[in-house]
Chains A and B, each alone.
Chain A
Amino acid sequence: MTGPIDFTRRAALAGAGGALLAGLPFGSWAQSPLLKPSPIGGTGTSLTDFLTGGTPVRLGRVRLDLPVLAENGNSVPMTVTVDSPMTSGDHVKAIHLVSERNPVRLMASFHLGPWSGKAEVASRVRLAGSQRVFALAQMSDGSFWLGLADVIVTLSACIDES
């Protein structure tokens, strides 16, 4: 079917997309519903709240390096760097990797300390499709900082039974 119906649907979709984008300026990603959706096991706690204990998350200090385009989602190289002096009084305690689309959203947690000397961890992750990946750093002063990266995945990691 073409004509008015198609136009209406298209306009509606464009309107919805525009409204979504307008409601989410870059700086507010930490508060975006994307980080607050799936309650864990029906407890009503979002993954972010589960990790932070309700502490507000700020955007910055964390750099998440992922390829812009990954050909194979089964193994995507990833590097997280956190801006921190890594002294006994001011260091990164943990870095959590959160996926937007993977069936297991908390991909990995890395625990560091002042003995690490610097805050940089690298690994290879599985990504179930194009998505935004988040790196959440927990500092020794109790604050939480967020870095993110968008990845286009050409071939998703096998996650379903198709």
Chain B
Amino acid sequence: MTARVQVPARIARGDVIQVRLLVQHPMETGYQRDDVGNVIPRNTIRTLSCRFDGQEVFRADLSSGVAANPYLQFPLRVSGPGTLAFSWVDDAGVEGTHNQPLEVTG
């Protein structure tokens, strides 16, 4: 599972930025069937969290009500340079992580 994160290129200390995250995941609802009629088991990301230098700054509990390849945008006040560490886990128990460094100018 891969993810893409977008943060502003120029961040000043104390800025409130919008972090944008796109995770590649089918978010199977468990209500659909494949071509030969077998139920496709539910497989959605249950929990996704973002830590900034060890402190949790955002958490989302998701369900089948979130579109495939979940897109999330959330705010963060940047106190200084550091790393955004994303981690998530789905129904199949597969975990994913992604790290995004934050450069702070000024």
Interface residues of A (CB under 8 A from B): 74-76, 97, 99, 102-104, 106-113, 115-126, 157-161
User: B60 contacts A103, CB within 8 Å?
Assistant: no
User: B63 contacts A117, CB within 8 Å?
Assistant: no
Give 1 or 0 for each of B55-81: 1 = CB within 8 Å of chain A CB: 101111111111110111111110100
Contact residues of B: prevailing secondary structure: strand
State the CA gap A121–B72 with chains docked (Å).
Answer: 7
Which residues on the A side are within 8 Å of B58 (C-beta)?
110-112, 116
Looking at the complex, which one of A107, A117, A125 makes contact with B77 (CB distance below 8 Å)? A117
Which residues on the B side are within 8 Å of A75 (C-beta)?
67-68
User: B31 contacts A115, CB within 8 Å?
Assistant: no
13 A-B residue contacts at CB 8 Å? A74-B67, A103-B64, A104-B63, A108-B66, A111-B60, A112-B75, A115-B77, A118-B16, A120-B73, A123-B71, A125-B65, A126-B29, A158-B32
- Give the shortest distance, in Å, between A75 (CB) and chain B (any CB): 4
Q: A109-B61, A115-B55, A126-B29 are in contact. Are A74 and B68 (CB under 8 A)?
A: yes
User: A113 contacts B57, CB within 8 Å?
Assistant: yes
Interface residues of B in 10-39 (CB under 8 A from A): 16, 18, 29, 31-33
User: B66 contacts A124, CB within 8 Å?
Assistant: yes
User: B66 contacts A76, CB within 8 Å?
Assistant: no
User: A124 contacts B77, CB within 8 Å?
Assistant: no
- Give the shortest distance, in Å, between A66 (CB) and chain B (any CB): 13
User: B31 contacts A160, CB within 8 Å?
Assistant: yes
User: B31 contacts A110, CB within 8 Å?
Assistant: no
User: A102 contacts B75, CB within 8 Å?
Assistant: no
- Give the shortest distance, in Å, between B35 (CB) and chain A (any CB): 14
State the CA gap A122–B68 with chains docked (Å).
Answer: 15
Determine the residue in chain A with the shortest Cβ distance to B31: A159
- Give the shortest distance, in Å, between A47 (CB) and chain B (any CB): 12
User: B76 contacts A122, CB within 8 Å?
Assistant: no
Looking at the complex, which one of A112, A160, A161 makes contact with B74 (CB distance below 8 Å)? A112
User: A122 contacts B31, CB within 8 Å?
Assistant: no
Which residues on the B side are within 8 Å of A118 (C-beta)?
16, 75
User: A117 contacts B33, CB within 8 Å?
Assistant: no
User: A108 contacts B31, CB within 8 Å?
Assistant: no
Which residues on the A side are within 8 Å of B52 (C-beta)?
115
State the CA gap A123–B62 with chains docked (Å).
Answer: 11
User: A125 contacts B67, CB within 8 Å?
Assistant: yes
Name 18 extra pairs, CB < 8 A, besides A110-B58, A111-B61, A122-B71.
Answer: A75-B68, A102-B65, A106-B65, A108-B61, A110-B74, A111-B58, A115-B55, A115-B76, A115-B77, A116-B58, A116-B74, A116-B77, A120-B73, A123-B67, A124-B70, A124-B71, A158-B29, A161-B31
